[in-house]
Amino acid sequence: MQDRLYERVAQPGGAGRAGPLYVSILMQGATLSRPATRRSGPMGFARLRTVPASTWAKLGFALLCLGAFVGFLAIPTYPTYDSYYALIWGRDVLHLHVPVFHIYRAPTEHPLAIAFGVVASLFGQAGDRVMIFGSIASFVALVAGLYRLGRLTFGPLVGGIAAVVLCTRFDYEYYAAQGYLDFSYMALVVWAGALEVAKPRRGLPVFAMLVVAGLLRPDAWLLSGVYLLWCAWPIVRAWSRGGPVPENRGRTLTGTPSGAHPQGHRQAGSLLGYAALTLAAPLLWALVDLAVTGDPAYSLHSTAGLAEQLGRTQGLANIPGSAWEFMVRLDKLPLVLGGIAGVVLAVVFVPTRVRVPLALLFSGLLTFALLGAAGTSVIDRYLLMPAVLVMLFGAVAIGGWSLLEPGSTLRRVWIGAAVLLVAVGVAQAATTVSLKSIKTELAFRKNSHRALAQVLHNPRVRADLKRCGPLSLPNHKLMPDARWIMNVGPENIVGRSQARVQAAAGDTTLRERISHGVAIYPTGEAVFRQAIVDSNDNPLDQVPPRGWAPILTSQYYAVYARCT
């Protein structure tokens, strides 16, 4: 009876028709039946659905930070080749020495990475772990930025899916755990995009983030130029027509380039300031190259030369095929196909929202093609940024149905297709992704670096280095690790492959230098990871010459010495 009364009163106007007696009975006995039903399981689930998306986002971010920090401590790894050179050059600057960029197979210098290397070098030998921490923190910032961009553009469900997808692309975690510099760049660009979506033509904050990103990768230079045109277009168009100049705050004014109105002067000054910010990153990069090498375009020349040496260049006709191959490798085929579908769906259903992520995607692909055409390396890491945007559009394909009216036929069909896409992606991941191989790679990086440090800190090795001559290594791979551990300059370490190539060209200087000294030979699994890594490496560089005596052997390295 109480249930029937509850239903009558719950109806619009029900309390008036039921009368005071019914209302009194309901109020006295309400706790006996109906509320007990509402506290049951379905009600608990309903309450979860009422939790704000921002609360879930904060909880997810906290768990992500916790997991990243636990991973940093539980699986201690060390920086990769490029990051160690950033540390070495940063240490040089910290000690007021001019860094040396012209080194055998040295990577491209990145001004902001060197600046971070200065900070990390303050921690001494622990600076390499600081570099790893910075990379992992940048990955966390990237995930948060992708969620923010997705939420502002396509809603919280799409943003959340994009963040989860990024966390399940284990190549990204693998690269972050090795201290790659790309994650800081990607986090800056994605957050710049999120700022722009939150307030179109925002101006200074977006330009500032792109300037910082442009000191890590030249890809941001193109983005800054495009953003300058985007900010300038309505003002220049209004000037050309002599009509009202739009303001970000909704006001308008009649302006001309000369600016009879003081606001016209202010907007012209803003455009000049934005143009200066657009040029800031490439100019600062060129100034660093000029100050260190005397050549403002040294980074471009050295990058192209190294790519040719390592066989990483490709013709322009091969770049589309390489881009597809790398994208599938990073994102996996189901997500790439979902990303393509997501682009189409976003353009059709929310064309005004798609501009920023679409611009980021296409600018990344265009930069990859331009750099490849310029003769620089064509490798999968240079597509990490576009691959992140493909994840966002893949999330649109999976969760974009939330943008449609509830109950519509199209929404139900979209949900069914999204479930199928997720099922295919999970099935492929279950058969192709190997977390064990990633763990093995990270363990090798940790164990081999520690083994190298133990070898180079060994008293016998130290004594022979001081007494006999320079350290020789098979090629370029171990040079930055050894330099960081020993805290020495490039003149103290020689690559045997470099000495062989120069001797073949008639210059025997290096070969004579390493006719005595200390030589390290990788052994076991380290041979094909650190000694014979490309077609330019000769197995004979792995054979100790006659007259060299073994002085130390570890799991990964054998050390020989000769003093006369």
What pLDDT does 57 receive? Answer: 87
- Domain endpoint, select from 400, 433, 466: 433
Give the residue from 440, 445, 465 showing the smallest Cα distance to 455: 465
Alpha helices in 374-408 (DSSP H): 384-399
What span, in angstroms and rounded, lies between the C-alpha atoms of 2 and 80?
Answer: 71
3-state SS, residue 440: helix
Pair (458, 372) in one structural domain: no
Beta strands in 474-541 (DSSP E): 493-495, 517-522
> Is 126 a domain residue?
no
Pair (443, 558) in one structural domain: yes
What pLDDT does 379 receive? Answer: 78
Pair (420, 520) in one structural domain: no
- Tally of CB atoms within 10 A around 291: 11
> Is 362 a domain residue?
yes
What pLDDT does 264 receive? Answer: 56
Pair (479, 543) in one structural domain: yes
CA quadruple 322, 384, 274, 245: dihedral, nearest 10: 80
Pair (427, 498) in one structural domain: no
Question: For the chain, what is the radius of gyration of the CA atoms?
Answer: 30
Pair (400, 491) in one structural domain: no
What pLDDT does 12 receive? Answer: 37
Helix (H) or strand (E) holding 417: helix 409-432
Q: Is 54:30 a contact under the CB 8 Å cutoff?
A: no
Q: DSSP string covering 314-378, please?
A: --GGGHHHHHHHHHHHHH-HHHHHHHHHHHHHHHHH-TTTSHHHHHHHHHHHHHHHHHHHTT---
Q: Is 166:149 a contact under the CB 8 Å cutoff?
A: no
Domain holding 363, by residue range, is: 313-433
User: What does residue 342 show for φ and ψ, rounded to 5 degrees?
Assistant: -65, -35
- Domain endpoint, select from 433, 465, 487: 433
Pair (398, 447) in one structural domain: no
CA quadruple 333, 364, 385, 395: dihedral, nearest 10: -50
> Is 470 a domain residue?
yes
What pLDDT does 22 receive? Answer: 34
> Is 35 a domain residue?
yes
Residue 94, Cα to own-chain centre: how many angstroms? 26
Pair (443, 557) in one structural domain: yes
What pLDDT does 233 receive? Answer: 85
| Global pTM value | 0.86
Q: Which residue has the tokens 């027509």?
A: 241
What pLDDT does 318 receive? Answer: 78
What span, in angstroms and rounded, lies between the C-alpha atoms of 511 and 519?
Answer: 13
Pair (347, 422) in one structural domain: yes
Q: Is 314:322 a contact under the CB 8 Å cutoff?
A: yes
Q: DSSP string covering 103-149, please?
A: -TTPPPP-HHHHHHHHHHHTTGGGHHHHHHHHHHHHHHHHHHHHHHH
Query: Which residues 6+ apart lie within 8 Å of 82 measured at CB?
Result: 107, 108, 113, 180, 181
Give the residue from 419, 523, 536 showing the smallest Cα distance to 105: 536
Written as six digits, the tokens of 355 are 């501009």
> Is 132 a domain residue?
no
What span, in angstroms and rounded, lies between the C-alpha atoms of 283 and 224?
Answer: 13
> Is 194 a domain residue?
no
What pLDDT does 244 receive? Answer: 54
What span, in angstroms and rounded, lies between the C-alpha atoms of 289 and 295?
Answer: 6
> Is 505 a domain residue?
yes
Residue 71 to residues 9, 74, 434, 449, 466, Cα–Cα distance (Å):
56, 5, 18, 18, 39
3-state SS, residue 557: strand
Pair (422, 330) in one structural domain: yes
Maximum distance among all Cα pairs of the chain, rounded to whole angstroms: 112
- Number of domains the chain contains: 3
> Is 284 a domain residue?
no
Give the angle 61-67-68 at the CA atoms, nearest 5°.
90
Pair (450, 536) in one structural domain: yes
Give the residue from 366, 382, 364, 372 showing the smallest Cα distance to 316: 372
- Domain endpoint, select from 410, 433, 456: 433
Pair (365, 464) in one structural domain: no
Helix (H) or strand (E) holding 9: helix 2-10
Query: One digit per residue, pLDDT tens: the chain, 564 residues?
Result: 333 333 333 333 443 334 433 333 333 333 333 333 444 445 455 566 677 878 888 899 999 999 999 999 998 899 999 999 999 999 999 999 999 999 988 899 999 999 999 999 999 999 999 999 999 999 999 999 999 999 999 999 999 999 999 999 988 999 999 999 899 999 999 999 999 999 998 989 999 999 999 999 988 999 999 999 999 888 777 777 665 555 554 433 333 444 445 555 666 777 888 999 999 999 999 999 999 999 999 888 787 666 666 666 666 777 888 889 989 999 999 999 999 999 999 999 999 899 999 999 999 999 888 877 776 777 788 899 999 999 999 999 999 999 998 888 999 999 999 999 999 998 888 777 777 888 888 899 999 999 999 999 999 999 999 999 899 999 999 999 999 999 999 999 999 999 998 998 899 999 999 999 999 999 999 999 999 888 778 888 888 988 899 999 999 999 999 997
Give the residue from 332, 320, 361, 327 showing the smallest Cα distance to 344: 361
Query: Which residues 6+ apart lie within 8 Å of 281 measured at CB?
Result: 210, 211, 213, 214, 215, 220, 221, 224
Q: For the chain, how many residues are written?
A: 564
Q: DSSP string covering 459-473, please?
A: HHHHHHHHHH--EEE
Helix (H) or strand (E) holding 271: helix 262-293
Q: Is 401:414 a contact under the CB 8 Å cutoff?
A: yes
Q: Which amino acid is at 101?
A: F
